């Protein structure tokens, strides 16, 4: 199938390719895993393994945090028929973690992947919404906050802020602490009274800019920190020559907060598609 046949558009007419977004995401999480110090990775059971086009990553010390236990690539060509998804799922499950298997909708292998997962005891769970934005300047006013770029992993509190915002244990900062200054990454903080109170990153993959991870410490919530960080990343992504920006957050449901969702829409992103996370039925 020609790549052009898989090009889609948002309701506002912004073109994107789901395969390119998936490839960007695999590199995003691969970089996060590769940045973890080897000694800590061994101690906490942080592992990553590729099975053909399928990439599985686990954290044995965080067995119920689906975001940190992922099997990516279920819809890649050959993932099912060549046994790669089966091998990845078996490997992840052997470590006792409750992993996510995201399934991108509408690809040639999507229905086959869903059927295989269902027949092997998995079911679709909480989904993530993918948002797309074109490379136009921000059309919203940035909150009056000090946003600085972080380039030194030794001096920056980036990992601590993100881990705290995500509710991870203190050692979880190691997943993100090495990203400032890493090739392909741009990391930022909002300073309030000289202290970092919110952080966000941007991963550049060719002409794609993936926004995330981002978090705000409790005392600074409600002050527009993430909107300020979105504004800065949009400007810097344009300056870097990126053509398509994307970000994701949890789907909007009645019992979950939606501040991030609203901020993303306000920053000019459009809802593109929901991607369910399949997981074991316990």
pLDDT of residue 156: 77
* Angle, CA 150 vertex, CA 229 and CA 226 arms, to 5°: 15
pLDDT of residue 282: 63
Q: Give yes or no for a contact between 162 and 199, defined as CB atoms under 8 angstroms apart.
A: yes
pLDDT of residue 4: 38
For the whole model, what pTM was predicted?
0.92
Q: Which domains, from first to last, does the chain contain?
A: 11-128 (no CATH), 136-242 (3.40.630.30)
pLDDT of residue 226: 95
List strand residue ranges (DSSP E) for the chain, in order.
7-9, 15-17, 46-51, 54-59, 70-72, 101-102, 122-134, 146-150, 185-192, 195-205, 208-216, 244-250, 270-280
Q: Give yes or no for a contact between 240 and 149, defined as CB atoms under 8 angstroms apart.
A: no
Q: What DSSP line would sit under 98-162, residue for residue?
A: --BEE--TTSTTHHHHHHHHHHTTEEEEEEEEEEEEES----SPPPS-EEEEE--TTT--HHHHH
Residue carrying structure tokens 């000289």: 194
Residue carrying structure tokens 């870097």: 240
Rounded to the nearest 5 percent, the helix, strand and coil shares of the chain are 35, 30, 35
pLDDT of residue 188: 97
Walk along the chain (282 residues) and give the pLDDT tens digit of each residue. 333 347 899 999 999 999 999 999 999 999 999 999 999 999 999 999 999 999 999 999 999 998 899 999 999 999 999 999 999 999 999 999 999 999 999 999 999 999 999 999 999 999 999 999 999 999 999 999 999 999 998 877 999 999 999 999 999 999 999 999 999 999 999 999 999 999 999 999 999 999 989 999 999 998 999 999 999 999 999 999 999 999 999 998 887 767 889 999 999 999 999 999 999 876
Q: Give yes or no for a contact between 24 and 16, defined as CB atoms under 8 angstroms apart.
A: no
Report the DSSP beta bridge partners of residue 211. 202
Q: Give yes or no for a contact between 74 and 85, defined as CB atoms under 8 angstroms apart.
A: yes
């Amino acid at each position: 199938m020609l790549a052009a046949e898989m090009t889609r558009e948002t309701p506002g007419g912004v073109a994107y390719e789901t395969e390119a977004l998936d490839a960007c995401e695999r590199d995003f999480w691969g970089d996060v895993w590769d940045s973890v110090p080897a000694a800590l990775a061994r101690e906490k059971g942080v592992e990553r393994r590729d099975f053909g086009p399928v990439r599985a990553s686990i954290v044995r010390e965080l067995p119920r945090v689906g975001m940190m236990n992922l099997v990516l690539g279920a819809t890649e060509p050959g993932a099912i028929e060549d046994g790669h998804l089966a091998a990845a799922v078996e490997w992840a499950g052997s470590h006792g973690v409750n992993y996510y298997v995201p399934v991108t909708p509408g690809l040639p292998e999507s229905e086959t992947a869903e059927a295989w997962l269902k027949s092997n005891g998995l079911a679709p769970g909480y989904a993530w919404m993918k948002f797309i934005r074109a490379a136009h300047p921000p059309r919203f006013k940035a909150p009056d906050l000090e946003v600085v770029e972080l380039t030194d992993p030794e001096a920056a509190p980036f990992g601590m802020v993100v881990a705290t915002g995500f509710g991870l244990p203190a050692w979880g900062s190691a997943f993100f602490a090495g990203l400032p200054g890493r090739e392909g990454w741009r990391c930022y903080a909002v300073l309030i009274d000289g202290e970092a109170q919110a952080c966000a990153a941007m991963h550049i993959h060719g002409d794609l800019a993936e926004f995330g991870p981002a978090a705000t410490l409790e005392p600074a919530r409600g002050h527009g920190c993430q909107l300020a960080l979105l504004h800065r990343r949009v400007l810097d992504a344009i300056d870097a020559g990126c053509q398509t920006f994307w970000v994701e957050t949890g789907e909007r449901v009645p019992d979950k907060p939606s501040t991030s969702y609203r901020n993303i829409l306000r920053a000019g992103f459009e809802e593109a598609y929901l991607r369910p996370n399949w997981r074991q039925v316990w």
